[in-house]
Structure 1
Amino acid sequence: MLENGFIVLHRKIVNWEWYKDPATHIVFEHLILTANYEEKRFKGEAIHRGQRVASYGTLAKETGLSIQNVRTAINHLISTNEVTRKSTNKYSVFTIVNYDLYQDKRQANQQSTNNQLTINQQSTNNNETKITTINKEKQIYAASAAHTNGRRTDNPGRTDF
């Protein structure tokens, strides 16, 4: 399952007709979160952006809902044209009708770019930290050597060095 990236979820979803129906809300958001963000192949069939291959049983297991709750939620989403379903004898392909409203292509590309920038930034920060630590150690050693040059250090009562 996808664990990286993000989706767009506008605040106006609180006015959506299925917002207060927990099962429908959960199933819809779960489909958005788990839908393909780029085309892939599954058993010889192209699964497009915004689509998800699953069964009612799979969705029930992933969401913690009963199969009947998932079936009812999908029927709600189909009735209001948020989702379509194409069935085979083993699985269904669920399509989020306006997927680009929830996951813009530019954002998907930006996610990839941001991940690379983050990795590079972490590498640069680690190198800078190492250099700073080495320089501090050199400065401390140089400073303590400068304070003791030409002075007596055998008097434990002296504090001026």
Structure 2
Amino acid sequence: MSDEGFIIIQRRIENWQWWGNIYAMAIWLYIIENANWKDGYWSVTGEKVERGCFITSKQRIAEELNISRNTVDRWLKQFEKCGQITCHVTGKYTRINVVNYGKYQAYESVRGQVIEQETEQETEQETEQETEQETEHNRTKKQSNKETKEQYKKDMVKSAPAGAEIVDAVDLWFKEFWSLYPKKVGKKPAEQKFKKCCKSEKDYAQIMSALRSQIEAKFSHTDMQYIPNPLTWLNQERYKDETIVSTKKNYQERMRELYEQNRNNEDSYVDPFDLSAKQRD
């Protein structure tokens, strides 16, 4: 028996009915280990021995495994009965053939499974590493933003006159928002929500631009009870609404325009809205 090469033992052998029986396991591993991994010839007679077969004797197996010949004979018969091997016994030797040897020792198939498992493990490790890197990146970014804000405050304190009140930019932004918003209700929760929405100067510009447009288009001629509270307006992200400024003119404005046009053409035209005017014949 050569001590080079290897055999494949799959984990599912643990589901084998004789797993745990030391005699069955010893004899089965002996068979798998000694079976030809490729076609060859027996050196004694030159007889061809195919892949998955080998020529031995029951006595030799017993001696090499240090068990009785009867034990070997009993388990070989059991394996043959279950369809795991076939045995051809002569007066000189025993020829053992492992049924489905290719299934047990299909190196390429098992290698493919190993590669697939390794790939899955590598993918999982890469995903975990990427997640850790992203988490670390976010943590570093937050820390950097925090340090930037703290440095900004320090710079403001250094440059501010003695006794001056130092106020964050977002506080100034909210003061402007609050002074502009027509309905002064729930200032504290509105301020908390405003600071969550207004994370950058771009957000602040969007909110204020939308508020001015909506005041002009709607709020300026809407009863106060129908104007949403500041907190509601922020929670519903109404600053993202598309604001359409109405260009429709009321009846009186239209009549005034017509009057101006007619007056330019006829000096005798009487303004219907001027009650002090006297109609001419």
Q: What TM-score do the two structures reach when normalised by structure 1?
A: 0.62
How far does the alpha carbon of each residue in 1:111-140 deviate from its partner, in whole angstroms, 9 at most, with x for none?
xxxxxxxxxxxxxxxxxxxxxxxxxxxxxx
Give the one of 66, 86, 89 matched to 1:87.
89
8 Å Cα contact 1:8/1:101 also seen in 2 = no
How far does the alpha carbon of each residue in 1:55-114 deviate from its partner, in whole angstroms, 9 at most, with x for none?
10011112121111111111111111111101111101100101112322649xxxxxxx
Give the one of 101, 104, 121 matched to 1:102.
104
Query: Is it true that 1:11 corresponds to 2:11 in the alignment?
Result: yes
Matches within 5 A, 1:55-74: 55-74=57-76
Query: Is it true that 1:31 corresponds to 2:31 in the alignment?
Result: yes
Counterpart position of 1:156: none
Q: 2:107 & 2:46 partners in 1: Cα distance? A: 24
Q: 2:31 & 2:82 partners in 1: Cα distance? A: 15
Shift of 1:44: 3.3
Q: 1:88 & 1:55 partners in 2: Cα distance? A: 10
Q: 1:71 & 1:90 partners in 2: Cα distance? A: 16
8 Å Cα contact 1:18/1:25 also seen in 2 = yes
Higher fraction of strand? 1
Classify the secondary structure of the residue corresponding to 2:62.
Answer: helix
Shift of 1:13: 0.7
Q: Which amino acid aligns with 1:2?
A: S
Q: 1:53 & 1:89 partners in 2: Cα distance? A: 13
Q: 1:83 & 1:105 partners in 2: Cα distance? A: 20
Q: Which runs of 5+ in 2 are unaligned?
A: 110-281
Q: What TM-score do the two structures reach when normalised by structure 2?
A: 0.36
Q: 1:27 & 1:104 partners in 2: Cα distance? A: 21
**For this pair of structures, how many residues does the alignment match?**
107
**Distance verdict in 2 for CA 1:2–1:106, change over 3 Å:** farther
Tell me the percent identity. Answer: 28
Q: Comparing both chains, which one has the higher relative contact order based on Cα–Cα distances under 8 Å and sequence gaps of 6 or more?
A: 1
8 Å Cα contact 1:24/1:76 also seen in 2 = no
8 Å Cα contact 1:87/1:93 also seen in 2 = yes
User: What is the RMSD of the two structures over their aligned residues, measured on CA atoms?
Assistant: 1.6
Is the radius of gyration larger for structure 1 or structure 2? 2
Q: 1:30 & 1:52 partners in 2: Cα distance? A: 11
Q: Which amino acid aligns with 1:93?
A: R
Classify the secondary structure of the residue corresponding to 2:83.
Answer: coil
Q: 2:6 & 2:104 partners in 1: Cα distance? A: 9
Q: Which runs of 5+ in 1 are unaligned?
A: 108-161
